A and B are shown apart, each in its own frame.
Chain A
Amino acid sequence: MTDAGSGDVTGGKGEGAAAWLDARLPVVSGFRQEYIDYPTPRNLNGLWNFGAILTVVLLVMLATGIFLAVNYTPTAAGAFASVEAIERQLPSGWLLRSIHVTGASLFLAALYVHLFRGLYYGSYKRPREVLWLTGLLLLVMVMFTAFAGYVLPWGQMSYWGADVAGKAVDAIPGIGPWLEHFLQGGDAPGDVSLHRFFVLHFVLAFAVLGVVVLHVAALHVTGSNNPLGIEPKEPRDTLTFHPYYTSKDAVGLILFALLFAVLVFFLPNLMFEAENFRPANPLHTPADIEPEWYFLPFYGMLQSVPSKFGGLLAAVGSILVLFLVPWLDTSPIRSARFRPVYRVGMVALVASFVLLGLVGRHHAEGGWMIVGRVALAYYFAHFLVLLPLSKRLERGVILPRSISSGLDAGA
């Protein structure tokens, strides 16, 4: 007598260890289904490479970060010296650290490309809202991780950057001063805050990996959006992920690695702020406190608003408003390619974001203050006014019947 329920569950899909395992935990067939046969729109352009690029950069950051962490001392007295020892005495430590620092900048750069790509092609729309939300959660987590990481070397910019962040918290009415003291573990950044930043940096980095898994899982439920913004309808609209997109992602990844290598090996001074090679000195404020470039747009918002708390609200709100985008944009059309008003709006949005970065760089002084206010006003108007209205402004749009016919028509 055989036990039909618990016996041979291999289902006749071959024999051997792989089949045995697959019958119990479908890693082999799962991988085949999600990364080989996975149907992908045939018209993805180069901007769709950045998802794969971000995944690889994240893994590089975790790998280099672990080796840096085991050589790092998270105390105010020892942090700077331990980073110097990594750079000077640890074999290849300079390379590890340079990759990690450059990787942080390029991670944020790729993230911004990925984000604006999603906005431009309407990748946040039904049914991809959860994909969008997990992506934004990643953006926020990566920002916190990057900021915490920047504090760790405990140079002048690290210290005074942490100080500016503390002052921003301080600007919250009522509980601000108490909250700043509580989070910092003192009246100024010190041992306690440095230790907290270290733990935060480390824990968040792995939490990011976890949310990336959710983000990719959500992607594989709905499938990729594409430059035409219409769902695949016929078999010839899609290609298998492998070999088509594996080969295309490989080209994108290698080109990105080239940029990475040029920065690490030939232009490290673009990545390292010289002032941060001076050890933290609470008694000496640097002449020019400036965050890393990837925070400059938010620094610009912070400074464009006359009230400190107002600036904080604007900077935080500029991220929060992104979470509402799937519901603020009521247009059924996804891709900006078919949305004349939205397309112009997107150009203005990207320009505002870049401008706000320049405003941050110039401390919103003189004419930059006006530029900052105009750009900030447009940033919010884009999401809160243009998006809800655009459906009415964009009438009579005729979408292609399918991806293939859209491509045949040369769209």
Chain B
Amino acid sequence: MRAVILASVAAGAILMAAAPGSARAQERRHEVAAPQAWSFAGPLGRFDMAAVQRGYAVYAQVCSACHSLNGMTYGDLTSIGLTDEQVRQIAAGQSVPGGVDAQGAAVMRPATAADHFRQPFASVEAAAAANNGAPPPDQSRLALVYPGGPDRIYALLTGYRPAPPGFVPTNAGAFYNPYAANFEIGMPPPLRDGQVEYADGTTATTAQEARDVTTFLAWAAQPHLAERHRLGVQVTLYLLFLAILAFILKRKVWSDVH
């Protein structure tokens, strides 16, 4: 049996190493983003909550004009360290569809903590129509689903530069960005120095804003990451201890067999 396992593992390993370029490699061209040191990286990573809160400010003041955050409710913001009162105020400042009135006309009402984040556009079609045909992607899981993840989001946000001579975008009106697929992106440069006012007094450079909002998006994509890691350490240590005890017990039980 050992031979079978060894053989199949070896066969797998050799073939993995010798495998021709996967189908994913044929993806559209772009420059590879430089890896950044993120607080949430690695098996024990956790979020720098001050950065997440600043990043939320960037989302609220900039991104939310075009990008939805469909999975999240305002109440979810309590997990980034905001108080219930702060969350209630944030929600109350947003108006969401509130059904119809007695005449059948649509009405709006202030949001509550239980409401999902306000949608910037009435529909996907409206979002596309307002954005040169391409609806801005939902940001709930963007840090997970965007190829390249947080590193590439950061690189993209800080990577706008003048197009090299001779560059013609395939979509009229698109912007040059070396980290975007095919070097072009429909989104105009969203961040500039001093665009956001931070409550904690941090200087809002473009790089700072990009770093903070990327941290916020990473949190939004995996809001339970820190709790998962903490619980994981506890469970793993418990099981390791239990495994040792069970192994000793098994040895003792079997000691009269051999």
Contacts and interface: CB of A to CB of B under 8 A. Distances in A.
Interface string B211-247: 0000000000101100011011101100110110011
B23 A363 contact: yes
User: Interface range on chain B: under 10, 10 to 19, 20 to 34, or 35 or more?
Assistant: 35 or more
B239 A257 contact: yes
B71 interface: yes
Contacts of A239: 257
B8 A350 contact: yes
Contacts of A261: 232, 235-236, 239
B173 to A, nearest CB: 22
Contacts of B224: 87, 94-95
Interface stretch (B10-18, B51-59, B158-166, B196-204): B10-18
B7 A350 contact: yes
B122 interface: no
A292 interface: no
A346 B22 CA distance: 29
Contacts of B22: 361-362
Interface residues of A, number: 58
Contacts of B250: 247-248, 250-251
B68 to A, nearest CB: 11
Interface in A269-313: 269, 274-275, 277-278, 287-288
B74 to A, nearest CB: 11
Contacts of A343: 3-4
B243 A244 contact: no
B71 A84 contact: yes
A89 B73 contact: yes
A119 B253 CA distance: 30
B101 to A, nearest CB: 25
B144 interface: yes
Nearest to A343: B3
Interface string B16-28: 1001101110010
Contacts of A84: 70-71, 140
B1 A288 contact: no
B144 A366 contact: no
A254 interface: yes
A90 B256 CA distance: 51
Nearest to B22: A362
B70 A81 contact: yes
Contacts of A362: 19-20, 22-23
B144 A274 contact: yes
Given A251-B243, A274-B145, A277-B144, A346 B4 contact: yes
A287 B15 CA distance: 23
Nearest to A335: B1
Contacts of B242: 254
Given A287-B27, A347-B3, A265 B235 contact: yes
A275 B253 contact: no
A142 interface: no
Given A287-B23, A350-B4, A277 B246 contact: no
* Residue with the highest number of chain A CB atoms closer than 10 Å, among B11, B19, B240: B11
* Residue with the highest number of chain A CB atoms closer than 10 Å, among B1, B141, B228, B243: B1
A250 B141 contact: no
B207 interface: no
B72 interface: yes
B254 interface: yes
B93 interface: no
A367 interface: yes
A251 B246 contact: yes
B11 A355 contact: yes
A81 B24 CA distance: 28
Nearest to A268: B228
Interface in A326-384: 336, 343, 346-347, 350-351, 353-355, 358, 361-363, 365-368
B181 to A, nearest CB: 11
B247 A244 contact: no
Contacts of B19: 358, 362
A262 interface: yes
Given A84-B140, A287-B23, A266 B257 contact: no
A262 B229 CA distance: 10
Contact of A287 (B24, B144, B240, B243): B24
Contacts of B236: 258, 261-262, 265
A367 B18 CA distance: 11
B223 A88 contact: yes
Contacts of A274: 141, 144-145
7 contacts: A88-B76, A95-B228, A255-B243, A265-B228, A343-B3, A361-B22, A362-B19
- The 6 A-B pairs at the shortest CB distance, nearest first, are namely A265-B232, A277-B141, A84-B71, A247-B250, A350-B8, A247-B253
Given A47-B1, A361-B22, 17 more contacts: A81-B71, A88-B223, A89-B73, A94-B224, A239-B257, A248-B254, A265-B235, A274-B144, A277-B141, A336-B1, A343-B3, A343-B4, A351-B8, A354-B12, A362-B22, A365-B20, A367-B20
